[in-house]
Structure 1
Amino acid sequence: MAEKACKAMSLLKLAEERASMKKKLDEQKRKQQLDSVPYLPKDCVSNILIRLPIESLQQSRFVCKPWYSIIKSPTFIRDNLHRAPKVMIFLSLVKGFLRGWSDQDSALFHENPNTFSVESKIFDLKSVHMLHRPLICSSSKYAIKYMVLEDGKGMIRDYNATCMGKIRASCDGLIVVDNMLRKGELVIMNPVTRELNLLPLGTICPPHDESFGLVCCARWYKLVHLFRDESQFIGCEVLQIGEKSWRVIDGPAFRLMKWFGYDPVFAIGALHWVPELDHNEHIVTMTIEDEKFHTIMLPKTSRFNDRIMEAYDRLCFVTHEEINEISIWALERLSGEAWTKIYTIAVGCIRDLIPLYFSRFKWELYFLDKDGSVFGFDFENVQMKKFTTMKGCFMLAGAEYTLTLHANSLVSWQIKEDDRDDAIYS
């Protein structure tokens, strides 16, 4: 019996040794497999991620902690912004939305789980007692969308976000929207990241008697508000995003702007306004660094379908010279104010073409016709081409479609103390 027991113990010990050996071999095999995977430096991973479309970047943040750290870094956000193409952001009416108000019904603003509602977020941030009920009941709801022009097609894409207020300004992927839950208040948000915050209350004016411009100045964003005061002069106030109140500055020292028309354009270190929609001979300029106003004469009288716009670090004036010609003038610096005609488009011109913007990465200029058709002029091939779009996707007669130049990015207006030396614009 003792001999049998000893033999059984030996067999058990042998089995344990074989199991331990197998475990060690399996661990060595797994280690060899891991070691065979090539190591990718952080810069290489960042270089791959930066090429992903903005929608994929949003999802890629949650793959792992290293990726999250890369995508959230100020350097990556800056590089992503520099690669972001220009788009046109706009509001599209959500048909059939007309709802009442109930003190207990915060669900008034909530959408389905995949849709972000600006008013729902504001509702969560503020007390119900501060809301303006009559304003809410009379409001319409809009889907926030954007138009992309590429490969001969004009494509409409959706942020899956809604709001009740008007888009007032845009810069670097940030937009400023009316807060329809409190009269005169504004909201700053990034429709891609859905980051949102309330801005302090400023001067309350009728919408057609005011204009907003959002710009990046050094490490901070500034919101400039022009408005007509009781004496019919133009007043001005400036808000540095993050501060608790607006600063009043001297506006243009003369009566101008019969009414505010187009959004201001930021170029060569200044914001530029076209004071009147038709028969205008000058623009009004505010230099961002010193916040001073002056006027700049245009090279020729601006008409209803002419526009100023930023292009390749210059301020451009796109004007209809003749029935079949569109000229492009450029201003490279504010000192001297010398406009230079740089190009005349003489093929494919239509009287009602409205300039939209210059492509960021190609030498092309895009236009919108009064019937909603989109055209692009290819300077390299000297060709005006019509983009394929969904029928009726844009109709200028529809007040809901106010196009604002935009860039989809991961930018935030918030800059942490530790990030200031590596800010978005250092």
Structure 2
Amino acid sequence: MADADDATEPKTAGSINPHIFHCCKSCARKRRTKYLPQEVFFEFLSYLSAQVLYDVMRHVCKEWNLIIRSRDFINLHRLRNSTTGILIQECWPMADNVVYVEMRRGCMEISKLDYRFKNLVWASCNGLVLVDDPRDRQILYVINLLTKQWAVLPPFSHKIIFFPSFGLAFCEASMEYKVVYASGEEFLNPRTRIHVLTVGVDKVWRCIDIKPLDGFSYRIPFVIGGYVHFIGKTVVLTLNVETEAVCRFSLPQFIIASTKRGKFMAMGSNLSFFCVTTKFLRDVWEMNPITGEWIMTLKIDLKPVRHRFKEISQVKNFLSLIPCCWLVVREVLLFCDWHPTRHCIAYNVKTREIRLIELSTDAKRHNFRGHVNSLVSLEGGF
């Protein structure tokens, strides 16, 4: 990772506790006279947001900076602050108009990122995003939007024809990140390929040949936990990014028949299908990534709040409400209206609270992608 303020990994020599960090012997002697153990600072800092840690806390003193930079702290902070927000990026006519929305302590916080975007974000995972070079779209970068660190990936050997087919996934056991790309050559050769690259390890892309899927919707992957799902007309292709094993699951008939009125979305650790059953009723089904079994986990009834929807968001037809993504899984859902409007709707399915998120242009011109601000880098520090 490239970093203008790069430093070596903090050392803990002379301390039996891996969370004790001394920048010099003088600090180590001073530490003996302090009342609070350094483990307390380690725990305290791990509960703060990544933005506060990066903008404020790392500048308080050298010891805190060493703590925040350490691999152990970054991993603990990632686990404790795994609440995902949403990147809302205008995809036409400009890509640099991006806002970040997240829920903290029950309140919705909206902020504009200070990163200068030149192209669309194609994938996001643990605070890292995948983007292409605007001058050469065959060149891809992995970037931390908070720390501004970046890494360039080896050139892709095939012609990239559809960028949303890229996914970025994290392998929990090996602590590695992998980029996945699906390509099909149905007209020339009835074969579908999944290309995989382990970031920071592989020098070339590896290829997994599979049987072709019906239709072209499989090109858009859903990266959920340690799995990447590719959706066909009648099947779901699921790649385990750790083992790189591929499973093929058949879609239930009711989903096949409802795809024109439904939508596949990420939901927690599972792939889900948001099904429009009536004008006001919505059913949410989740797929087990190991067995392929689908279970209905949520039923949303908009009829009791139809008048509030019309008053607050000027909804004309509830069938025109399009689910975008979950701001809080199984709790706060973002909707867009198919009719031209410059806002999207955040609806709490538990409390039935409705809030608007104002955008600069028509909401349908924006991409909604799950994201979380974090200190994560490909080297474990910054």
After TM superposition, the structure 1 = structure 2 runs for residues 7-46 of structure 1, keeping only pairs within 5 Å, are 39-46=35-42
* Contact 2:229 2:239 (C-alpha < 8 Å) held by counterparts: yes
* Contact 2:183 2:219 (C-alpha < 8 Å) held by counterparts: no
Q: 1:203 to 1:166 in 2, by over 3 A?
A: farther
User: What do residues 315-368 of structure 1 show as CA deviations (whole Å, max 9, x unaligned)?
Assistant: 332221222211122233413x221212211234732333344455x7504122
Distance in 1 between residues matched to 2:121 and 2:196, nearest whole Å: 18
Q: 1:285 to 1:363 in 2, by over 3 A?
A: closer
Please, which moves more after superposition, 249-258 or 235-244? 249-258
Distance in 2 between residues matched to 1:162 and 1:232, nearest whole Å: 41
* Contact 1:314 1:330 (C-alpha < 8 Å) held by counterparts: yes
Distance in 1 between residues matched to 2:37 and 2:72, nearest whole Å: 16
User: What do residues 366-413 of structure 1 show as CA deviations (whole Å, max 9, x unaligned)?
Assistant: 12222432132333x4x3x321322x4463432xx2111111110112
After TM superposition, the structure 1 = structure 2 runs for residues 163-182 of structure 1, keeping only pairs within 5 Å, are 163-182=117-136
User: What do residues 113-152 of structure 1 show as CA deviations (whole Å, max 9, x unaligned)?
Assistant: xxxxxxxxxxxxxxxxxxxxxxxxxxx6624432234688
Distance in 2 between residues matched to 1:160 and 1:210, nearest whole Å: 24
Give the secondary-structure state (helix, strand or coil) at the position aligned to 2:64: helix
1:64 equivalent in alignment to 2:61:
yes
Give the match for residue 52 of structure 1: 48
Residue 45 of structure 1: how far off its partner (Å)? 1.0
Residue 87 of structure 1: how far off its partner (Å)? 1.3
Q: 1:284 to 1:353 in 2, by over 3 A?
A: farther
Of 70, 73, 96 in structure 2, the residue corresponding to residue 73 of structure 1 is 70
Unaligned runs of 5+ in 1: 1-33, 96-139, 417-426
Give the match for residue 306 of structure 1: 262
* Contact 1:210 1:260 (C-alpha < 8 Å) held by counterparts: no
Whichever residue aligns with residue 265 of structure 1, its letter is V
What is the count of residue pairs matched by the alignment? 325
1:412 equivalent in alignment to 2:380:
no
* Contact 1:153 1:389 (C-alpha < 8 Å) held by counterparts: no
* Contact 1:319 1:327 (C-alpha < 8 Å) held by counterparts: yes
Of 232, 238, 242 in structure 2, the residue corresponding to residue 289 of structure 1 is 242
Give the match for residue 352 of structure 1: 320
Bigger Cα Rg: 1
Give the match for residue 23 of structure 2: none
* Contact 1:153 1:387 (C-alpha < 8 Å) held by counterparts: no
User: What do residues 141-169 of structure 1 show as CA deviations (whole Å, max 9, x unaligned)?
Assistant: 62443223468875542221113222111
TM-score for the superposition, normalised by structure 1: 0.67
Q: 1:71 to 1:179 in 2, by over 3 A?
A: same
TM-score for the superposition, normalised by structure 2: 0.74
Q: 1:212 to 1:402 in 2, by over 3 A?
A: same
Q: 1:309 to 1:265 in 2, by over 3 A?
A: farther
Give the match for residue 270 of structure 1: 227
Of 177, 183, 201 in structure 1, the residue corresponding to residue 155 of structure 2 is 201
Give the match for residue 198 of structure 2: 240
Of 277, 291, 294 in structure 2, the residue corresponding to residue 339 of structure 1 is 294
User: What do residues 205-234 of structure 1 show as CA deviations (whole Å, max 9, x unaligned)?
Assistant: 354376111111122111111123353642
Whichever residue aligns with residue 273 of structure 2, its letter is F
Give the match for residue 228 of structure 1: 184
Give the match for residue 165 of structure 2: 211
Distance in 1 between residues matched to 2:193 and 2:264, nearest whole Å: 23
Give the secondary-structure state (helix, strand or coil) at the position aligned to 2:78: helix
Distance in 2 between residues matched to 1:333 and 1:211, nearest whole Å: 19
Whichever residue aligns with residue 397 of structure 1, its letter is K
Q: 1:283 to 1:181 in 2, by over 3 A?
A: same
After TM superposition, the structure 1 = structure 2 runs for residues 139-158 of structure 1, keeping only pairs within 5 Å, are 142-149=96-103, 155-158=109-112
Distance in 2 between residues matched to 1:316 and 1:39, nearest whole Å: 50
Unaligned runs of 5+ in 2: 1-29, 307-317
Give the secondary-structure state (helix, strand or coil) at the position aligned to 1:410: coil
